[in-house]
Amino acid sequence: MKRTFAAAAGIAATAAIVLAGCSGGTESTDPDGPITLTLSGWSLDTTPEFQALADAFTEQNPDVTVELVGYDPVEYNTLLTADLAARSGPDIITQKEVKFVSTFQEGGQLLDVSDVELPDGIGGASSYEIDGASYAVPYRQDSWVLFYNKDLFDAAGVEQPDGSWTWDDYEEAAAALTTDASKGAYQHTWQSVVQGFANAQTGADILDGDYEHFAPYYERVQAMEEAGSEVAFNTATANQLTYQGEFGTQKAAMLPMGTWYVATLIAQQASGEANDFEWGIAPIPQEDASTAGLENEPVTFGDPTGFGINAGIDENKVEAAKAFLEFAASEEAAQVLAGIGITPALLNEAVVETYFSVDGAPGDDLSKFAFAEHETLPENPTSSRTAAIQGILADMHTAILSGSSSVDDAIAEAQDRVASEVGTD
């Protein structure tokens, strides 16, 4: 058999590292016969990117079939870890959350994929580097932007975002947009919506155990809740509000959210689940004017999504698996993802053009600028301590916004807990 492996013809199968304690879950393959790779994913019926990439790769490499293995999205890491421990894990492991990469790597469950060639300009690759080696490659890189309802802005007589906003401008606009029928903004209940921006825009590192930089960001949220320009955290939590419902049914004029929502909003407007209104995306508001404006590079946050290889994979599959990883990071794969409204890790002018050619996507220049031009810093530093620290910071987030603790007291408690329970750099 002559294998194609068009994306990575030069990668040798001898690079495999097979660890006895890791999972393979598949029988040995005939090195001269067809190959089947298994790939983990979640919500397969509503997350088309996995099948789209699998199909595109198989079209190039007809002797390789990529089969999807679906997991519950909420329990993804737990269930995947159990399968790996039982040696029944998939060949290619989708890295859903960066904060668990170190866990898989330290458990000897990820193959070193440093020899997989990545294109220049791809985002998020550093999130998968540990001690100078790479254990996954990014295929997707969402960044947080500001969604806004153009119709509600026009109805309120409020000037639409122009790319120069700071958080003070955002807070002022939210107050002006608030009516009896809708709030000026909706902030979802996740800790990311506060802490992600605070970390990225102040240059803070959660691993160092100092969290004073969170204070003004939480104080702004509290002020907006008290002013009534956004739904209170307790109300959103008690009523299990969704950001799709709040923005999509025009209950809020603005929404800070990741670029993944573009594809969802397009689909929901097409199906009638969301209202029909004109919308766009703008750069997320900035800490100060130094990074605001179209002449600057706005700072935001977002983690990549990537593919790693099970360290227990059959050695005859390694070449094909690495070829899939290289393809997933390529411009061709980026075009596939952009064509279905998914934000690829590789962005260039052609990919951006494809992304905004999707029916229902906004076509204005500011939306294209917000999508393509930004410095995206990781939400989760690659460290074995990240998951534990984020759990403590989640408790802090809830304590502050539920009103059970003051900002200062909650921050102090989080700092004490990280120091005693996790340790700091």
| For residues 171-188, average pLDDT | 98
> What amino acid occupies position 381?
P
In the predicted structure, residue 12 carries a pLDDT above the cut 60 = no
pLDDT at site 421: 97
Q: What are phi and psi of 210, to 5 degrees?
A: -105, 120
Predicted confidence (pLDDT) at residue 1 exceeds the cutoff of 90: no
Quick check: 21 pLDDT over 60? Answer: no
Q: Is residue 2 scored above 50 in pLDDT?
A: no
Give me the mean pLDDT over the 45-50 stretch: 90
| Cα–Cα distance, 46 to 48 (Å, whole number) | 6
pLDDT recorded at residue 112: 98
Give yes or no for a contact between 185 and 253, defined as CB atoms under 8 angstroms apart: yes
> Confidence band (pLDDT; 50, 70, 90) for 67?
very high
Distance CA 231, CA 222 (A): 10
Residue type, 357: S
Considering the entire predicted model, what is its pTM?
0.86
Per-residue confidence (pLDDT) for residue 5, from 0 to 100: 54
Whether the pLDDT of residue 49 is over 60: the answer is yes
- Position 30 scores a pLDDT of 55
Give the pLDDT score at 424. Answer: 79
pLDDT for 31 beyond 90: no
Residues 230-265 pLDDT 10s: 999 999 999 999 999 999 999 999 999 999 999 899
- Residues with Cβ < 8 Å from 348, sequence gap 6 or more? 121, 331, 334
Residue-level pLDDT at 32: 63
What per-residue confidence (pLDDT) applies to 33? 73
Please compute, for residue 285, the number of CA atoms within 13 A of its CA located in the half-sphere on the CB side. 23
Query: Smallest Cα–Cα separation from 41: which of 305, 259, 257?
Result: 305
User: How far is 46 from 193, CA to CA, in rounded Å?
Assistant: 24
Containing 146, the helix (H) or strand (E) segment is: strand 144-149
**pLDDT: is 2 or 222 the higher one?**
222
Judged on CB neighbours under 10 Å (0-12, 13-18, 19+), 254 is buried
The C-alpha atoms of residue 346 and residue 140 are separated, in whole angstroms, by 8
Q: Do residues 144 and 302 touch, judged by C-beta distance below 8 A? A: yes
Question: By C-alpha distance, which of 384, 387, 388, 349 is closest to 369?
Answer: 349
pLDDT per residue over 108-159, tens digit each?
999 999 999 999 999 999 999 999 999 999 999 999 999 999 999 999 999 9
Domains of the chain: 13-142+304-347 (3.40.190.10), 144-299+378-422 (3.40.190.10)
Q: Is the per-residue pLDDT at 8 higher than 50? A: no
**Residue pair 246/235 in contact by the 8 Å Cβ criterion:** no
Which DSSP category does 159 fall into? P
- pLDDT band for 404, please (50, 70, 90 cuts): very high
> What pLDDT shows up at residue 135?
98
Mean pLDDT for the chain overall: 92
Q: Is the pLDDT of residue 339 over 90?
A: yes
- The tokens for 19 are 């660890």
Predicted pLDDT at 17: 29
- C-alpha span between 321 and 371 (Å, rounded): 30
Does pLDDT of 300 surpass 60? yes
Q: What is the reported pLDDT for 127? A: 96
Distance CA 152, CA 173 (A): 11
Mean pLDDT of the region 177-200? 97
Question: In Å, how far are 45, 79, 80, 92, 364 from 71, measured between CA atoms?
Answer: 11, 7, 8, 13, 37
Cα distance between residue 170 and residue 168, in whole Å: 5
Percentage of the chain modeled with pLDDT above 90: 89
How does 33-55 read in b/e, with b if 16+ C-beta sit within 10 Å?
A: eebebbbbbbeeeebbbbebbbe
Name the amino acid, one letter, at 84: L
Map residue 183 onto helix, strand or coil.
strand
Residue 149's pLDDT is 98
